[in-house]
């Protein structure tokens, strides 16, 4: 199982670097290229590629270069995804410059959990690209339904997907009213800047914009089966190579 | 289980609980005869009220708890309710469930059952089901919940006695407990099963206890040892890992889904076309239709009070002044020689006439109007309509309900601020309420300023008070620390106002005026008459002169009126009539003087009762602070107005 691999940060960095090369349509990442990209000596690259090859993560041909195995690719995709989402977060939310965000993302990507990154992705509204414009790989575990803040939707039916608020009181109030993930609500009235009026369980409730911001929703088809309930955050089990 | 047999003679204790605006207060007043003011506004009951009634020759004590959506939340009301339920040995709990919002209301019912409380359900407002094309099978609901369900229409008293008897009988036979269990998600169920064997023996049902522990309710965490607590924490983390959300949300989902299952099983729906009332409700919150409606209603109300109230007031004063008083005075003057007694009789009559001329036309009309708006369900809709504007003064729409109440009377308005979730909002709203022209001040503005100085002057007072409210709100918003969570407000159904409840409510509010203000005014009037007679009145007027004459440019006799206005605002003009000896104020004061006087009375110090309620709700320092603030505001506004207007008129 992929999750059993205890990889060091630098191992993950290598996988990521090879991934980036392959993403750029290159068939093989050469030792030379990797050394330049990671700023290390050629010898170190050779040594590391051998090690990763033994773990079954890369296919290494001496003097030629390396490609990722299926498992290696899965791990690299995950790391890259973390990296790019973190960049998005650092640039969009923290207001940090692109160069600096890259550096910090390189550090955090190795310690942040899969669950945390999936939730971050949801909070950011499932962005598809990093600040540099590269695609953010999808995660195998997260639900890909696009979500938006309840405060930003038009009138119609929506299903609540996430509850996020820095104030426990708001969460608690919404919970006791029954506004919890999985519930379908109808937005009856939305006036720019003013509160929304929603209908749920035969009750009309007015929600201030800021409260509506803490409800992430996805559009609900007019009629249709109850959708599967997604279990976010379950430990992801990638297949072993 | 509950130790009732031992205390045969002690009164049975029943509690009324339910969602905001489910009809608790109506139920309470029907049961006890205590007149609670009932309104179609979430959160009117803000503390536990109690009343006594008799049933089968026994005393029954009934508690009316604040309206809550659940007994878990972190809000003050809900915490107080939970505390009360856990610490008071109750013989029965009548859960008032709003039949029109069954599923949502059942959430609380399930929580109460989970806590092992002897719950009887009063299914209220069943009369409204038909207009909504809904139908509830009561027998099925009883079966589903495993407890008694009594259909009621609390406002009309229907079914109320049956509900009371059912709860009483249930208290007599407490063994009958086969309640609906909440079915939770598998992960939660496994956690509960693991927690239950660790629990100490208590009167609480173990399953409910375990659920409370799992969701992290601190009131329950304190009842178990640290070993259990750490095990619960592990289990909680397990559930949270499996669901990727706060365990409290998962547990709430369990309760809501159970409520949904029950509601679906017992509720029949027919195709529903929006009624006229629903369309009205919808239009009231949409800016395009809502603003004109609000302006129309307020303008209409002021015009109605001014014209209808004005002519009524005129009729009353003429009736007394021309038909009743002259013969009475004649008789008294002829029979009694002592000038102090004749003066007292004159003063009493004058005071009564003044009260009637103010109370009936202005205050009564205003209260009827406010009661109609309340019962129709209009006020929460204003809160929604103006939420964005309320942000300008550091508030949310929900503060507008107490503020609108403030146009009636500051005292209940300030009490209603308890429903606001943060201290910051309570303080700002309270301060602003003291600046709002209450019905007494409306009587002054319309009855004196508009009548004797001119309508533009009256509108100017409203405008100035409005500007000062906005300015003070902005000032307070930036000086009081803390932030305020956004609006979450249930919008009640639009209801047809019923005549009897509105008259009852109006009478309750008027009663206070008649019982407290009128005697005060009579006493004040007699005292003033005697002071005049003894030639002492200048001892009051002289020290006030630097303010009244100096700063405000008013006649000296207004000094005593301003002092009386502290007791009750409208007494300022009643005393004005007494002190000047006429109701036709334009004969003794210039329009500018009338305007300045009314402006000052509108703004300066909250009346005595308001001062008391501020001291109780915030603290004495705030009450003093607000008084000083408003006096300064009134003197500045009055002084400036006097000078500007005099300058313009020159």
Of A144, A173, A202, which residue constitutes the final position of a domain? A144
Q: Residue B460: inside a domain, yes or no?
A: yes
Distance (Å, whole) CA A123 – CA B581:
72
Q: Residue A204: inside a domain, yes or no?
A: yes
**Interface contact A27, partner B, CB < 8 A:** no
Q: For residue A144, what pLDDT band results from cuts at 50, 70 and 90?
A: low
Q: Both A185 and A124 in a single domain?
A: no
Q: Both B154 and B198 in a single domain?
A: no
> Among B121, B107, B98, B18, which residue's Cα sits nearest to residue B64?
B18
ipTM of predicted complex: 0.81
Distance (Å, whole) CA A213 – CA A193:
12
- In this prediction the pTM is 0.74
Q: Both B345 and B461 in a single domain?
A: yes
Q: Residue B594: inside a domain, yes or no?
A: yes
The residue among A195, A205, A210, A234 with the most chain B CBs within 10 A of its CB, best to mutate, is A195
Q: Collect all residues of chain A within an 8 Å Cβ-Cβ radius of residue B382.
A: none
Q: Both B208 and B256 in a single domain?
A: yes
Q: Residue B117: inside a domain, yes or no?
A: yes
> Measured in Å, how far apart are chain B's first and last C-alpha atoms?
84
List pLDDT tens digits, range B304-322: 888 888 888 888 888 887 8
Q: Does the pLDDT value for residue B358 go beyond 80?
A: no
**Interface contact A171, partner B, CB < 8 A:** yes
Q: Collect all residues of chain A within an 8 Å Cβ-Cβ radius of residue B390.
A: none
Cβ contact A211–B102 (<8 Å)? no
Of B126, B145, B172, which residue constitutes the final position of a domain? B172
Q: Does the pLDDT value for residue B607 go beyond 70?
A: yes
Q: Collect all residues of chain B within an 8 Å Cβ-Cβ radius of residue A203.
A: 101, 104, 490-491
The average confidence (pLDDT) of chain A is: 79
What share of chain B in percent tops pLDDT 90? 27
Q: Which of A119, A176, A208 lies nearest to residue B486, judging by beta carbons?
A: A208
Q: Collect all residues of chain B within an 8 Å Cβ-Cβ radius of residue A191.
A: 286-287, 388
Q: Which of B243, B396, B485 lies nearest to residue A231, judging by beta carbons?
A: B243
The boundaries of the domain holding residue B357 are: 285-489+499-649
Q: Does the pLDDT value for residue B242 go beyond 80?
A: no
Once rounded to an integer, what is the mean pLDDT over residues B195-203? 89
Q: For residue A24, what pLDDT band results from cuts at 50, 70 and 90?
A: low
Q: Both B545 and B630 in a single domain?
A: yes
Cβ contact A208–B387 (<8 Å)? yes
Q: Does the pLDDT value for residue A181 go beyond 80?
A: yes
List pLDDT tens digits, range A130-143: 887 777 887 765 55
Q: Residue B231: inside a domain, yes or no?
A: yes
Q: Both A140 and A157 in a single domain?
A: no
Q: Residue A227: inside a domain, yes or no?
A: no
Highest mean pLDDT (candidates B30-34, B548-552, B609-613, B626-630): B626-630
Q: Of all helices (H) and strands (E), which one includes residue B237?
A: helix B226-243
Q: Both B209 and B290 in a single domain?
A: no
**Interface contact A32, partner B, CB < 8 A:** no
- b vs e for A104-121, b when ≥16 Cβ sit within 10 Å of the residue's Cβ? ebbebbbebebbebbbbb
Burial label, B222 (beta-carbon count in 10 A; 0-12, 13-18, 19+): exposed
Cβ contact A173–B100 (<8 Å)? no
Q: Both B224 and B310 in a single domain?
A: no
pLDDT of residue B4: 44
Helix-, strand-, coil-residue percentages of chain A, each rounded to 5: 40, 20, 40
Once rounded to an integer, what is the mean pLDDT over residues B596-617? 85
**Interface contact A116, partner B, CB < 8 A:** no
How many domains, in total, are found in chain A?
Answer: 2
The residue among A174, A208, A216 with the most chain B CBs within 10 A of its CB, best to mutate, is A208
Taking a C-beta distance cutoff of 8 angstroms, is the pair B394, A202 a contact? no
Q: Of all helices (H) and strands (E), which one includes residue B160?
A: helix B160-172
Q: Residue A69: inside a domain, yes or no?
A: yes
Distance (Å, whole) CA B42 – CA B258:
25
Distance (Å, whole) CA B576 – CA B36:
34
Cβ contact A178–B104 (<8 Å)? yes
pLDDT of residue A115: 82
DSSP string, B452-483: II-HHHHHHHHHHHHHHHHHHHHHHHHHS---
Q: For residue B141, what pLDDT band results from cuts at 50, 70 and 90?
A: very high
For residue B57, give the CATH number of its domain: 3.40.50.300
Q: Both B564 and B611 in a single domain?
A: yes
Q: Which of B252, B486, B491 lies nearest to residue A180, judging by beta carbons?
A: B252
Closest residue of chain A to B73, computed from CA coordinates: A172
> Among B637, B636, B631, B627, which residue's Cα sits nearest to residue B430?
B627
Q: Which of B103, B107, B245 lies nearest to residue A181, judging by beta carbons?
A: B245
List pLDDT tens digits, range B488-503: 889 988 988 888 888 8
Q: Both A119 and A170 in a single domain?
A: no
Q: Both A35 and A134 in a single domain?
A: yes
pLDDT of residue B484: 80
List pLDDT tens digits, range B335-346: 887 888 888 888
- DSSP class of residue B616 equals H
Q: Both A134 and A177 in a single domain?
A: no
Q: Both A13 and A86 in a single domain?
A: yes
Of A97, A115, A144, which residue constitutes the final position of a domain? A144
Cβ contact A171–B107 (<8 Å)? no
Q: Both B227 and B333 in a single domain?
A: no
The boundaries of the domain holding residue A38 are: 1-144
Q: Collect all residues of chain A within an 8 Å Cβ-Cβ radius of residue B282.
A: 188-189
Q: Residue A158: inside a domain, yes or no?
A: yes
Q: Residue B99: inside a domain, yes or no?
A: yes
Taking a C-beta distance cutoff of 8 angstroms, is the pair B215, B251 a contact? yes
Q: Both A156 and A212 in a single domain?
A: yes
> Among B505, B485, B216, B211, which residue's Cα sits nearest to residue B372?
B505
Q: Both A73 and A24 in a single domain?
A: yes
- b vs e for B454-490, b when ≥16 Cβ sit within 10 Å of the residue's Cβ? eeebbebbbebbeebbeebbeebbeebeeebbbbbbb
Q: Both A54 and A133 in a single domain?
A: yes
Q: Both A29 and A108 in a single domain?
A: yes
Q: Does the pLDDT value for residue B639 go beyond 70?
A: yes
For residue B219, give the CATH number of its domain: 1.10.287.1770
Q: Does the pLDDT value for residue B164 go beyond 80?
A: yes
Q: Both A120 and A22 in a single domain?
A: yes
Can you give the C-alpha Rg of chain A in angstroms? 22
For residue A128, give the CATH number of its domain: 1.10.10.10
Q: Which of B72, B286, B380 lies nearest to residue A176, judging by beta carbons?
A: B72
Least confident of A3-7, A194-198, B307-311, B618-622: A3-7
Q: Both B220 and B103 in a single domain?
A: no
Q: Both A1 and A108 in a single domain?
A: yes
Q: For residue A231, what pLDDT band results from cuts at 50, 70 and 90?
A: very low
Q: Residue A119: inside a domain, yes or no?
A: yes
Of A102, A120, A144, which residue constitutes the final position of a domain? A144
Of B149, B172, B195, which residue constitutes the final position of a domain? B172
Alpha helices in chain A (DSSP H): 9-23, 31-38, 42-54, 70-88, 98-108, 114-123, 168-177, 209-213
Q: Residue B179: inside a domain, yes or no?
A: no
pLDDT of residue A227: 40
What share of chain B in percent tops pLDDT 70? 94
pLDDT of residue B385: 92
pLDDT of residue B266: 93
What share of chain A in percent tops pLDDT 90? 7
Distance (Å, whole) CA B457 – CA B450:
6
Q: Collect all residues of chain B within an 8 Å Cβ-Cβ radius of residue A183.
A: 256
Q: Both B208 and B315 in a single domain?
A: no
Q: Residue B245: inside a domain, yes or no?
A: yes
Cβ contact B487–A208 (<8 Å)? yes
Q: Both B324 and B448 in a single domain?
A: yes
Q: Does the pLDDT value for residue B7 go beyond 60?
A: no
Cβ contact A209–B243 (<8 Å)? no
The residue among A167, A194, A199 with the most chain B CBs within 10 A of its CB, best to mutate, is A194
Q: Both B301 and B423 in a single domain?
A: yes
**Interface contact A208, partner B, CB < 8 A:** yes
Least confident of A229-238, B223-232, B556-565: A229-238
For residue A156, give the CATH number of its domain: 2.30.30.90
Taking a C-beta distance cutoff of 8 angstroms, is the pair B528, B347 a contact? yes
3-class secondary structure, A172:
helix
Q: State the nearest Cα–Cα gap between A46 and chain B, in angstroms.
A: 40
Q: Residue A3: inside a domain, yes or no?
A: yes
Q: Collect all residues of chain A within an 8 Å Cβ-Cβ radius of residue B132.
A: 202
Q: Residue A233: inside a domain, yes or no?
A: no
Once rounded to an integer, what is the mean pLDDT over residues B206-235? 91
Of B147, B172, B197, which residue constitutes the final position of a domain? B172
Q: Collect all residues of chain B within an 8 Å Cβ-Cβ radius of residue A182.
A: 253
* CA distances to B220, B374, B403 from B497, in Å: 44, 9, 22
Highest mean pLDDT (candidates A20-34, B117-131, B298-312): B117-131
Cβ contact B249–A188 (<8 Å)? no
Q: Residue A229: inside a domain, yes or no?
A: no
Q: Residue B279: inside a domain, yes or no?
A: no
Q: Which of A172, A182, A206 lies nearest to residue B73, judging by beta carbons?
A: A172
> Among B252, B243, B182, B257, which residue's Cα sits nearest to residue B215?
B252
How many domains, in total, are found in chain B?
Answer: 3
């Amino acid at each position: 199982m992929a999750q059993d691999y205890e990889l060091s940060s630098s191992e993950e960095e290598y996988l990521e670097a090879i991934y980036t090369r392959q993403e750029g349509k290159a068939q093989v990442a050469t030792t030379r290229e990797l050394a330049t990209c990671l700023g290390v000596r050629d010898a170190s690259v050779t040594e590391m590629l051998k090690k990763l090859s033994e773990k079954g993560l890369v296919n290494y041909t001496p003097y030629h270069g390396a490609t990722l195995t299926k498992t290696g690719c899965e791990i690299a995709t995950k790391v890259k995804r973390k990296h790019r989402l973190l960049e998005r977060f650092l640039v969009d939310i923290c207001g940090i410059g692109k160069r600096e965000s890259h550096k910090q993302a390189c550090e955090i990507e190795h310690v942040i959990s899969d669950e945390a990154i999936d939730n971050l992705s949801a909070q950011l509204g499932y962005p598809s690209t990093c600040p540099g414009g590269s695609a953010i790989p999808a995660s195998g575990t997260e639900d890909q339904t696009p979500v938006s803040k309840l405060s930003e939707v038009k009138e119609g039916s929506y299903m609540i997907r996430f509850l996020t608020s820095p104030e426990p009181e708001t969460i608690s109030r919404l919970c006791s009213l029954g506004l919890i993930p999985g519930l379908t609500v109808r937005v009856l009235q939305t006036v720019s800047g003013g509160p929304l009026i929603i209908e749920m369980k035969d009750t009309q409730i007015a929600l201030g914009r800021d409260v509506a911001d803490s409800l992430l929703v996805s559009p609900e088809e007019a009629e249709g089966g109850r959708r599967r309930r997604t279990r976010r955050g379950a430990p992801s089990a990638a297949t072993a190579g | 289980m509950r130790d009732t047999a031992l205390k045969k003679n002690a009164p049975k204790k029943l509690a009324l609980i339910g969602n905001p605006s489910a009809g608790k207060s109506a139920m309470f007043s029907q049961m006890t005869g205590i007149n609670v003011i009932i309104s179609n506004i979430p959160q009117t009951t803000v503390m536990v009220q109690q009343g006594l009634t008799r049933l089968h020759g026994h005393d029954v004590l009934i508690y009316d708890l604040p309206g809550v959506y659940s007994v878990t939340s972190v809000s003050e009301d809900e915490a107080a309710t939970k505390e009360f339920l856990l610490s008071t040995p109750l013989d029965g709990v009548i859960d008032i469930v709003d039949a029109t919002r069954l599923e949502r209301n059942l959430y609380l019912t399930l929580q109460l059952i989970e806590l092992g409380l002897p719950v009887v359900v009063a299914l209220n407002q069943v009369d409204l089901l038909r207009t909504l094309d809904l139908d509830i099978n009561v027998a099925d609901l009883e079966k589903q919940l495993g407890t008694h369900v009594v259909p009621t229409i609390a406002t009309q008293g229907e079914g109320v006695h049956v509900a009371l008897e059912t709860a009483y009988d249930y208290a007599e036979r407490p063994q009958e407990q086969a309640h609906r269990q909440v079915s939770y998600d598998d992960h939660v169920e496994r956690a509960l099963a693991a927690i239950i064997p660790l629990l100490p023996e208590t009167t609480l049902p173990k399953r409910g206890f375990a659920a409370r522990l799992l969701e992290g309710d601190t009131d329950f965490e304190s009842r178990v040892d640290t070993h259990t607590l750490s095990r619960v924490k592990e289990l909680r983390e397990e559930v949270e890992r499996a669901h990727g959300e706060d365990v409290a949300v998962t547990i709430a989902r369990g309760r809501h889904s159970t409520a949904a299952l029950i509601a679906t099983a017992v509720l029949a729906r027919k195709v529903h076309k929006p009624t006229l009332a629903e369309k009205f409700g919808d239009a009231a919150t949409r800016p395009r239709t809502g603003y004109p409606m609000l302006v129309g209603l307020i303008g209409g109300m002021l015009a109605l009070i001014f014209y209808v109230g004005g002519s009524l007031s005129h009729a009353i004063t003429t009736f007394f002044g021309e038909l009743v008083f002259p013969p009475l005075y004649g008789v008294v003057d002829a029979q009694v020689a002592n000038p102090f007694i004749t003066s007292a009789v004159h003063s009493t009559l004058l005071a009564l006439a003044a009260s009637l001329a103010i109370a009936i036309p202005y205050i009564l009309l205003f209260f009827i109007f406010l009661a109609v708006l309340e019962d129709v369900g209009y006020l929460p809709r204003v809160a929604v309509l103006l939420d964005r504007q309320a942000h300008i003064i550091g508030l949310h729409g929900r503060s507008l309900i107490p503020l609108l109440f403030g146009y009636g009377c500051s005292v209940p308005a300030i009490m209603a601020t308890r429903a606001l979730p943060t201290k910051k909002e309570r303080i700002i709203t309270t301060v602003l309420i003291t600046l709002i022209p209450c019905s007494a001040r409306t009587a002054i503005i319309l009855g004196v300023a508009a009548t004797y100085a001119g309508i533009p002057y009256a509108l100017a007072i409203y405008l100035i008070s409005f500007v000062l409210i906005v300015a003070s709100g902005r000032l307070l918003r930036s000086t009081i620390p803390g932030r305020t969570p956004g609006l979450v407000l249930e919008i009640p159904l639009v209801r047809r106002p019923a005549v009897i409840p509105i008259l009852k409510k109006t009478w309750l509010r008027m009663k206070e005026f008649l019982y407290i203000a009128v005697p005060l005014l009579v006493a004040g009037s007699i005292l003033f008459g005697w002071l005049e007679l003894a030639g002492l009145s200048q001892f009051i007027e002289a020290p006030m002169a630097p303010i009244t004459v100096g700063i405000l440019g008013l006649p000296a006799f207004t000094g005593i009126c301003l002092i009386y206005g502290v007791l009750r605002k409208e007494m300022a003009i009643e005393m004005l009539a007494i002190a000047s000896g006429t109701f036709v104020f334009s004969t003794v004061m210039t329009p500018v003087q009338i305007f300045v006087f009314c402006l000052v009375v509108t703004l300066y110090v909250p009346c005595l009762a308001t001062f008391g309620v501020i001291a109780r709700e915030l603290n004495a320092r705030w009450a003093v602070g607000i008084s000083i603030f408003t006096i300064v505001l009134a003197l500045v506004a009055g002084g400036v107005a006097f000078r500007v207007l005099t300058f313009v008129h020159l």
